[in-house]
Amino acid sequence: MGLVIVTGGSRGLGFECAKELAAIGHQIVLVAKDKARLEESAKHLGAAYRAVDLEDLDAAKRAFEEILESFGTPEIVILAHGVMSAKMSKTLKTDNAEWRRVMAINLDSVFSALNILAAPMAEARSGRVVIFSACLGRMSGPGNAGGLAPYRVSKAGVNALVRNLAHETGLGARGFLVDAVCPNHSRTDMGGPDAPLSAAEGARTAIWLATRAFDVSGVSDQEKVTGVLWEEMKVVPW
């Protein structure tokens, strides 16, 4: 089993992904902001870790470069970090600081991680990248417009980034896969205690994407499709 890097790995969806992949023998590196919680989670999993505030894009870049230098090219990258925007963050009610905070964490740091960690994976024609997006970032489907502007736009940006990178790297034909996942409303610090899904249930599709058998000549979407948004192991429209 190979190297797995998980951002947002100290808790919630990221921790659940790391836990399942560690259980089948992967080497895990957790990345998160809260050092104390990160140390505890890493100890529980027998994982390495790096504490970094991904809102600080220069620090994020240095951390990703150091991870690559220390551990080598990953087999799997799961980007599970993220923040919700303020409750009243409508487009015309959001100030520059809130906009930049959400964009830096939810979108800019995702680009930085891909730019550094995924580049050698794509060059090696191997590996999987799974990015937690959100159904609130879709341009179609129920509940796709109005309110939470920075969060929605950041996740729409993630979706576009995934689609663009997948097309640039051959849509899986060259051995490199990149996908976005909508975990649905899960019981995490962001989702709250009353969410209908557990964190483990919310992480299920991401874990499957990281480990599924893939063949571009396969029959089903689950076998042959990458560069899309997944929900409950099914492709959903952007």
Q: Per residue in 42-52, pLDDT tens?
A: 999 999 999 99
Pairing between strand 27-32 and 48-51? parallel
Q: Does position 159 have pLDDT exceeding 80, yes or no?
A: yes
Sheet holding 229-231, edge to edge: 48-51, 27-32, 3-7, 76-79, 127-132, 176-181, 229-231, 234-236
The domain 3-236: what is its CATH number? 3.40.50.720
Question: What are 125-150's pLDDT values in tens digits?
Answer: 999 999 999 988 988 877 677 889 99
Contact predicate 24/9, CB 8 Å? no
* pTM, full prediction: 0.96
Domain boundaries, the chain: 3-236
Phi, psi dihedrals of residue 126, rounded to the nearest 5° = -160, 150
Confidence of residue 61 (pLDDT cuts 50, 70, 90): very high
Give percent of the chain with pLDDT exceeding 70: 100
Pairing between strand 234-236 and 229-231? antiparallel
Q: What is the mean pLDDT of the chain?
A: 94
